[in-house]
Structure 1
Amino acid sequence: MAEIAFILLCHKDPAGIVAQALRLTAAGDNIAIHFDARAPKADYDRIRAALADNPRVAFAARRIKCGWGEWSLVEASLLAVRAAYDAFPEATHFYMLSGDCMPIKSAEYVKDFLDRDDLDYVEAFDFFKSDWIKTGIKEERLIYRHWFNERTHKWWFYTSMDLQRRFGLARKIPQGLDIQIGSQWWCLRRSTIGAILSFCDTNPAVIRFFATTWIPDETMFQTLVRHLIPDREIRTRTLTFLMFTDYGMPLTFYNDHYDMLISQDYLFARKISPHAADLKERLGQMYQSRGVRFPISNEGRTLLTFLRDRGRNGRRFAPRFWEAETSLGRERRLTLVVCKKWHVAKRFTDRASEVLGVPRLHYLFNEVGTELPPLGGIETTLEKRERHRRALLRMLFDYYDTRHLMICIDPSNLDLIRDVVADRARVDIIDLECVFDDDYLVGHAQRVGLAGPSTPVETMDRLMPVIRYDFRYESERIRDADFPNFRRLHETNTAEENAEILAELLDIPRDTALEITSMHYLFMD
């Protein structure tokens, strides 16, 4: 059975570090700790005293002052790895953790997972060909020498790099190395760790190269694993679940993330809020449990992005603004059919188009597959359609040679609605108000990737009120906008009641409107 030596890099919360060490070693595993030298010595002494009698705990030979993006993080990692490698000869795997990590599976599950395949788990993507680096410098991380920290000495960092560029001091990458990049949170086999340590001892020039690269904790281990180990023995992934905010900072997990976390296809999660005492307690108890089954739904990234975009009460943080485009024309009429249930809006517009002889288009600003005529390329992507929406609509009026056009709009597109209502054309808004039962909300969450068939009931119970609120909020925003020529057809109305409303809005006979609203399956799911 797998025996793990955890490599713990930490710099705060001595009580939490002690608790983490006791939790992990109680399951029969080991831990090697590096505690940042920038942290108070008293905190370090407190940790050592509390764990002094635990034979499954080792400490790095010395403490390094660590800085984000610096070689010091790799140096600290190597010190802890060497301590673990020497102290725990029975360890089969070495797993990198931070003080903010917590297990999201039981120790039993973790060991079974690692025993299943003889593999290393590390993100190792080609540095130059992948798009792992989203912003900032890329090649410059490697070809120039970095002695200053970009966060603490920004002027020196960029001045040094600029001088090297100006005087042609770019260096070559060590021969034979294909630089890789990925998360620093890896899990490697003992044989791999031994090969890495041996390589470091015999290749000082490579160590000097990485020692002056920028953010080497994302490249050195990743590069050496790919250099030393056959590809068939590497899984290019991390076993630690982590996400980043829009500002590039690690997303923090709180007490209400428990069910979502344990349903992800990962073994640990980073980073847990220091204030999430209940979450830490529950995860700690779960780690010691036996016989627990973990249904994997793995929708965490999509779900958290959805919730983050709306805030914890289900509302968006900020609206999106659109560019203004060409006027549609004073003599033209555009009817917007607004509905969250797209199949209902499509039925309505299809029937209205048939009865009224008005060209119709479905969700052309929401659905990339909406059927559109060729318009010179403006119709090819949602981005182009949204960026030039008035121009697109005008071209559609011209293409169909019509003065009246009907399109479907998702209620989330309030800014688009505002934009076209401000046009000189006549704009009618028909809001099809539907009933959303629990089954529909569950289906919606699965269709858009917020949930899966195995999502825990507890997660769905917390997610569904957010979705329901989001739907209601979008609908109320449109109502509160007080648009002229706005009418709402209700699913709970009779066909006759809806016909009266529709006839008044579109200036058509009541009997004609009834031909549209009397479709018996209009609101059916």
Structure 2
Amino acid sequence: MARIAFIMLCHKDAPGVIAQARRLTASGDFVSIHFDGNSDPADFAEIWSALSDNPSVTFANRRYRCGWGEWSLVAATLEAVRAAVAAFPNASHFYMLSGDCLPVKTAEYAHDFLDSNDCDYIEHNDFFASDWIKTGLKEERLIYRYWFNERTQPKLYYASLAIQQKLMLTREVPSDLQVMIGSQWWCLRRQTIEKVLAFCDSRRDVMRFFATTWIPDETFFQTIVPHVVPRNELRNRTLTYLIFTDYGMPVTFYNDQYDLLLRQDYIFARKISAEALELRERLGALWADEGSIFRPRTRGRGFSAS
């Protein structure tokens, strides 16, 4: 039977993180937690106190201060993945989650689904040929270097970019890579994770390239996985349901959308509102159910704001 090591990237809601970890490990699975280094130390202390004695829970050895669009998000993911690989030799799959994710299927369904499909689930669309990026920078994400955060250091971010553009200080993408793009929420088999980590250890040039790429959480794993795994073993989709408004903002789900979420052809969903206590309770309880029959009808990706 599939046994999943959930890679949880979290930055808030210590009680929710604790509840999620206990729920997932109760089904025979594992959890590796990276809690943002920017977050309240008291929250991390609460999580550590509640979970550090659980043999099915491990923590990233290093906590990064994560920023939207930065390499720190990928670095944090890799740190949690390495901790999970070392701690859980029986894990067959590694599944990325955020603190806002909750199951929309049972553990029984998830295990059966993964047992029936020997493949990796990760969105991987051609960076240049696809229309995955709707607005904002595209090629510029790759050919220029980013040392500053647009949201927290906007003056430095735009000044650095303007100087590079004026002086034509572009760079080349590593010649043997086809850059791909997609959602950061993937589910990968153990052998794939091991290949990715081996690639990271051997290709410092690629690591340096992505370390100064803008929003690399949408391109790093999406590029490396198809490079090290045959394409016929990949499915170009995520198992986590998430949709965006016309303006590129993630849609948040509330109490009245339980039935909608269960109809989706996914195993988890994000983002579940922190205020949707009834929805959180129902979805949390769902994971432990046995014998439930699901007939997913929808795999939606779009949302109209009108």
1:60 is aligned to 60
Q: Which amino acid aligns with 2:120?
A: D
For the residue of structure 2 that corresponds to 1:185, the secondary structure is coil
Structure 1 residue 61, shift from structure 2 partner: 0.2
Q: Is the 8 A contact 1:124 1:180 kept in 2?
A: yes
Contact 2:127 2:180 in 1 (8 A): yes
Which residues in structure 2 correspond to 1:304-319 (within 5 Å)?
305=304, 308-309=305-306
The offset of 1:299, in angstroms, is 6.5
C-alpha separation in 2, matches of 1:200 and 1:52: 28
Counterparts of residues 39-188 of structure 1 (less than 5 Å):
39-188=39-188
- Answering whether residue 284 of structure 2 is matched by residue 284 of structure 1, we say yes
Equivalent residues in 2 for 1:264-343, closer than 5 Å:
264-298=264-298, 305=304, 308-309=305-306
Report if the CA contact (8 A) 2:52-2:58 is conserved. no
Secondary structure in structure 2 of the residue aligned to 1:5: strand
2:9 aligned residue:
9
Q: Distance in 2 between matches of 1:150 and 1:53?
A: 39
Letter in 2 for 1:281: E
* Displacement after TM superposition at 1:247 (Å): 2.8
Aligned to 1:225: 225
Question: Match for 1:59: what amino acid?
Answer: F
Please state whether the residue corresponding to 1:188 is helix, strand or coil: strand
CA distance in 1 between counterparts of 2:300 and 2:225 reads 28
CA distance in 1, matches of 2:300, 2:232: 28
> Aligned-pair distance for 1:161?
1.3
SS at match of 1:158: helix
Distance in 1 (alpha carbons) for counterparts of 2:301 and 2:130? 20
State the alpha-carbon separation in 2 of the partners of residues 53 and 203 from structure 1.
36
Distance 1:106 1:168 in 2: 53
What is the root-mean-square deviation in Å for CA atoms of aligned residues?
Answer: 1.1
SS at match of 2:169: coil
1:165 shift after superposition: 1.8
Q: CA deviation at 1:42?
A: 1.1
Give the match's secondary structure for 1:83.
Answer: helix
- 2:52 match: secondary structure: coil
Structure 1 position 118, deviation (Å): 0.7
Distance 1:94 1:301 in 2: 23
Counterparts in 2 of 1:203 and 1:300: CA distance versus 1, 3 Å: closer
Indicate if the aligned counterparts of 2:265 and 2:299 stay in contact, CA closer than 8 A: no
- The answer for the alignment partner of 1:517 in structure 2 is none
The Cα shift of 1:301 comes to: 5.3
Distance 1:36 1:102 in 2: 19
Q: 1:19 aligned to 2:19? A: yes
What is the alpha-carbon distance in structure 1 between the residues aligned to residue 299 and residue 77 of structure 2?
Answer: 31
Given that residues 260 and 300 in structure 1 are in contact (C-alpha distance below 8 angstroms), is that contact kept between their aligned partners in structure 2? no
Instruction: Give the corresponding residue for 2:242.
Output: 242
Q: Per-residue deviation at 1:142?
A: 0.4
User: What is the identity, as a one-letter code, of the residue corresponding to 2:226?
Assistant: R
Distance in 2 (alpha carbons) for counterparts of 1:230 and 1:198? 16
Deviations for 1:418-463, whole angstroms, at most 9, x for unmatched residues? Answer: xxxxxxxxxxxxxxxxxxxxxxxxxxxxxxxxxxxxxxxxxxxxxx
Task: Give the deviation of 1:300 after TM superposition.
Answer: 5.1
Q: What is the distance in 2 between the residues matched to 1:11 and 1:239?
A: 22
Distance 2:221 2:300 in 1: 27
Using the TM superposition, give the Cα deviation of residue 117 of structure 1 relative to its aligned residue in structure 2, in angstroms: 1.3
Shift of 1:52: 2.0
| 1:155 shift after superposition | 2.3
Q: Which has the higher contact order (CA 8 A, sep 6+)?
A: 2
Q: Which whole-Å CA distance do the structure 2 matches of 1:42 and 1:212 have between them?
A: 31
Q: CA deviation at 1:219?
A: 0.3
| Separation in structure 1 between the aligned mates of residue 71 and residue 299 of structure 2, nearest angstrom | 35
The answer on 1:194 being equivalent to 2:194 is: yes
User: What is the deviation of 1:150?
Assistant: 1.2
CA distance in 1, matches of 2:203, 2:234: 23
Distance 2:266 2:138 in 1: 29
Q: Is the 8 A contact 1:263 1:295 kept in 2?
A: yes
Name the aligned partner's letter for residue 129 of structure 1. A
2:30 and 2:241 map into 1 onto residues whose CA distance is: 21
Is the CA contact (8 Å cut-off) linking 1:62 and 1:79 kept in structure 2? Answer: yes
- Supply the distance in 2 between the matched residues of 1:161 and 1:138 (Cα, whole angstroms): 13
Q: Which runs of 5+ in 1 are unaligned?
A: 310-525
Aligned residues, how many? 306
Q: 1:87 to 1:299 in 2, by over 3 A?
A: closer
Identity among equivalent pairs (%): 61
* One-letter amino acid of the counterpart of residue 81, structure 1: V
Q: How far apart are the structure 2 equivalents of 1:168 and 1:40?
A: 41
User: Aligned partners of 1:248, 1:117: CA distance in 2, in Å?
Assistant: 31
TM-score relative to the length of structure 2: 0.98
Question: C-alpha separation between the residues in 2 aligned to 1:265 and 1:182?
Answer: 18
SS of aligned partner of 1:288 = coil
Distance in 2 of aligned mates of 1:223 and 1:30 = 26
8 Å CA contact 2:254, 2:276 repeated in 1: yes
Do the aligned residues in 2 keep the contact of 1:32 with 1:84 (CA within 8 Å)?
yes
TM-score (norm 1): 0.57
Instruction: State the Cα distance separating 1:175 from its structure 2 match.
Output: 1.8
Code of the aligned partner of 1:92? S
Question: Does the C-alpha gap of structure 1 residues 274 and 158 become closer, same or farther in structure 2, counting only changes over 3 Å?
Answer: same
CA–CA distance in 2 between the matches of 1:291 and 1:266? 18
Tell me if structure 2 keeps the 8 A contact 1:261–1:300: no
Aligned to 1:259: 259
Look up the match of 2:212.
212
- Which of the pair has more CA radius of gyration? 1
CA–CA distance in structure 2, aligned partners of residues 43 and 218 of structure 1: 28
How far does the alpha carbon of each residue in 1:462-499 deviate from its partner, in whole angstroms, 9 at most, with x for none? Answer: xxxxxxxxxxxxxxxxxxxxxxxxxxxxxxxxxxxxxx
